[in-house]
Structure 1
């Protein structure tokens, strides 16, 4: 009788262990499936379009690839024909005035319609960010703010000790639209970095 009870208890214990293992395995499968599903959704929302162009110009002008992807995703959602109410054009939403100024740095003479061309748009975004990163000591947040609000405005903020105690970086951004823009780009950059870490050249 005693042996029979012990045997039954042993069987129950083994059964409980098996059930636990099955539950753990099922949970692992569900978690893995959920992870890959979420990752697939994010990759669809944050694609690596124009990869050859972005890689080329990021390396040429010393700009992190994830930054260019984040800017394009935020500015136009990869719409080559995008045009804002302010007249900014193309994938990277560069204004004709900024385009003219940037061409004084590259030595090219192109019409503003060239900004609808993906290659030109990506190239001049990289040119611009290369200059901004150099001007602002490599600080991405400050460079992103300058891309949106303008170099003059950002330099004015840097002279305000309440906004920039060190005169080099922005502790806070007083203009709400630019602040939201910077946060949006930084979020996109972070997502690209996490999704495509192995593929991206960080510079």
Structure 2
């Protein structure tokens, strides 16, 4: 299945290049922004500024978590744009003093983005602004990442991850980093 996906990605890139050539380079930015949109820009910028998180990281995570669907629900029950787990939503609602919090509020874009960006800020403080470790923590949980950093099998220096034992997290991290770089190139 992975070979098929890589083949599809290469084919998609080839098609994009053909489209860009056909419509002209001046329209290339439009094509790229169509493939890599930024939805909920005002909310992302608001909370990214408040919590001092790169907005392009927020967008890359959101794209990979929900494809910008505010009603998305994962197999594990995470909800909304940034796929907030119930336990994280409860914890964040207490820390952020969200009045009358209920789990259904995770489907509200503003609440979901606020909690997701706040959690990235928590991860940033915990892992020393190491974006690769932050992304792994967003997917696998900060408790798992702490264990990995303390294990010489996964981290030689206790600060960076040399190996990620969860395949899902390893692939997630790779995709988010790829999209993060692409968003920076397109929109910066």
TM range (shorter): 0.7 to 0.9
Give 1:114's match in structure 2, choosing from 105, 118, 128.
Answer: 105
Q: What's the offset of the Cα at 1:163?
A: 1.3
- SS at structure 1 position matched to 2:73: coil
Give 2:117's match in structure 1, choosing from 112, 121, 126.
Answer: 126
Distance 1:84 1:35, change over 3 A: same
Q: What's the offset of the Cα at 1:108?
A: 2.1
Whole-angstrom distance in 2 between the partners of 1:132 and 1:67? 13
Whole-angstrom distance in 2 between the partners of 1:36 and 1:179? 36
Q: Which has the higher contact order (CA 8 A, sep 6+)?
A: 1
Aligned residue in 1 for 2:34? 44
Give 1:175's match in structure 2, choosing from 163, 166, 169.
Answer: 166
Distance 1:34 1:176, change over 3 A: farther
Find out whether 1:58 has 2:48 as its counterpart.
yes
1:5-154 → structure 2 map (5 Å cutoff): 33-109=23-99, 110-154=101-145
Larger Rg computed on CA atoms: 1
TM-score by length of 1: 0.78
Aligned residue in 1 for 2:5? none
Find out whether 1:187 has 2:178 as its counterpart.
yes
Whole-angstrom distance in 2 between the partners of 1:31 and 1:80? 34
Whole-angstrom distance in 2 between the partners of 1:127 and 1:120? 10
Pairwise CA RMSD of aligned residues?
A: 1.7
Whole-angstrom distance in 2 between the partners of 1:57 and 1:32? 39
Extract unaligned runs of 5+ from structure 1. Answer: 1-29, 198-203
Whole-angstrom distance in 2 between the partners of 1:65 and 1:170? 23
Extract unaligned runs of 5+ from structure 2. Answer: 1-19
> How many pairs are equivalent?
168
Whole-angstrom distance in 2 between the partners of 1:173 and 1:39? 35
